[in-house]
Amino acid sequence: MFKKLMGEKIYCGLDIGSQRVKAGVLKVKDVKEVELLGVYENKVHGYRDGAVIDLGELSECVHAALTGLSQTVGVKIKDVQVGVSGDLVETRRTEALIPLTDKGGKVIDRRDIKQVNTQVRLLAVRMEEDVLHDFPQSYQVDDVLGVVNPVGLLGRKLGVQSLMIVAPTIRLNNLRKAVHQAGFDVARLSFSSYGSSEVSLEDKDRQEGCVLIDSGAKLTNYLIFKDKICRAIGKINIGGDHLTRSIADRFNLSFDLAEDIKKSHAGALGLEPHPQEEVLVKRENSYAPIKKEAICQAMESDIVSFVDKISSAIKESGLGGQIRRGIIVTGGGSLLTGLMERVEQGTGFPVRLAKLNLTSQKDLGNAALFSSVVGLANNGFKESFTFSVTSQSQANWFKYMTSNARELYQEYF
């Protein structure tokens, strides 16, 4: 039934980062047939530190990326799921408590859950902010804390403790305007790193506890999951550009040349397979040799700080003892040779590179580079229906509808 109702649909994710604009398209025939058609990227202009600084330039970049993707995969793109970078968002923990009845007790239903979640969102945000995501951590029924699922329980008061991702409304509206000016509609704005988690993590990872590290050019975001809930979110102000800048400063090179050297010859100190090999670097009128070991040494303090900050973040979350599935890394910054091994040594957790949990028409190579846009597109698919994608059968659909009817009856009669 679900397949007949749905038909074939196209979903597109767009991630505007500090260096690149990336886009990806999914083709969905039904819940079990989600296919990645392709990805596309180009340099970003008109966007810096989470803000639009030139609307025309950014719109041109977005237009180039989406039209390039459309032509590459042969599908028409109308609306996009837009990713918001980590330097634009903030996280906030808050709670709310609402009365259910003056006397006796009321049977708690989904309408009550929706009401208390709405209330906590209102309390959490300022006038100039929008909520991108909210993650209820646990509920409270009267004086009972830590309730996982209050539906069906009797109570006079209902509370919730929630973790939220918020962003400035004006900056979000400027992103929307850039996409609109490029000729496309914005279906939704989401946190890019959370989008990555949707296709980089397995259900078992979220259930048993894991850390997702999304390392970008300017900064690194981390998300900690346990019991299928996002429990902690934060950012580390070290990204791939910091390593590039250290190489550039150490050897008096341009940033672009240092970036090329980092991608082609650099690695974490002690894990570079050929440290004594030399790299010829072009100077004004000649070439100068630099040992790979010296390149690694130039980045060492940043790498040490990076690993220390990850360890501290896990420790401060209070969830270190509950992480059973280790650390999953994604993003361009994660591809440095030996970095995963250093993170594993420094944190004591097993570390693996993210893989996309869906089929693809072609091999992406480094899938970690595009997990955000694929995840954003996947979120668009999942959220385009009013009932859960796991409730596919007619029986489940009927159960969903009768449950709603029963709650309406209890509410008014």
Instruction: Judge if 212 and 347 occupy the same domain.
Output: yes
* Mean of all residue pLDDT scores within the chain: 89
Q: Is residue 196 in some structural domain?
A: no
Give the pLDDT confidence of 380-400 residue by residue, as tens digits: 988 875 434 444 444 454 455
Q: Is residue 165 in some structural domain?
A: yes
Instruction: Judge if 270 and 209 occupy the same domain.
Output: yes
Give the pLDDT confidence of 267-278 residue by residue, as tens digits: 887 776 677 888
pLDDT of residue 5: 46
Q: Is residue 408 in some structural domain?
A: no
- Domain count within the chain: 2
DSSP code for 87: G
Percent of the chain predicted with pLDDT > 90:
72
Q: Is residue 381 in some structural domain?
A: no
Instruction: Judge if 213 and 273 occupy the same domain.
Output: yes
Instruction: Judge if 137 and 209 occupy the same domain.
Output: no
Rounded to the nearest 5 degrees, what angle is found at the Cα of 29, between the Cα atoms of 24 and 32? 95
Give the range of the structural domain holding residue 158, as residue numbers without chain letter: 89-169
At residue 282, does pLDDT exceed 90?
Answer: no
**Cα–Cα distance measured from residue 85 to residue 104, given in angstroms and rounded to the nearest whole number:** 47
Instruction: Judge if 264 and 133 occupy the same domain.
Output: no
At residue 219, does pLDDT exceed 80?
Answer: yes
Mean pLDDT within 199-209: 96
At residue 366, does pLDDT exceed 90?
Answer: no
**Cα–Cα distance measured from residue 280 to residue 287, given in angstroms and rounded to the nearest whole number:** 6
Q: Is residue 198 in some structural domain?
A: no
**Cα–Cα distance measured from residue 32 to residue 295, given in angstroms and rounded to the nearest whole number:** 46
Q: Is residue 22 in some structural domain?
A: no
Instruction: Judge if 207 and 345 occupy the same domain.
Output: yes
Instruction: Judge if 121 and 252 occupy the same domain.
Output: no
At residue 165, does pLDDT exceed 90?
Answer: yes
CATH number reported for the structural domain that contains residue 163 in this entry: 3.30.1490.110
Q: Could you give the count of Cα atoms lying within 13 Å of 369 in the half-sphere of its Cβ? A: 18
- Measured CA distances, 71 to 178, 236, 259, 397 (Å): 21, 37, 30, 38
Domain boundary among 353, 369, 404: 353
Q: What is the pTM of this model?
A: 0.88
Q: pLDDT grade, residue 209 (50/70/90)?
A: very high
Give the pLDDT confidence of 98-143 residue by residue, as tens digits: 999 888 889 999 999 999 999 999 998 999 999 999 999 999 999 9
Instruction: Judge if 133 and 244 occupy the same domain.
Output: no
Q: Is residue 25 in some structural domain?
A: no
Q: Which of 72-81, 177-186, 351-360 has the lowest mean pLDDT?
A: 351-360
Q: Is residue 407 in some structural domain?
A: no
Percent of the chain predicted with pLDDT > 70:
88
Instruction: Judge if 119 and 219 occupy the same domain.
Output: no
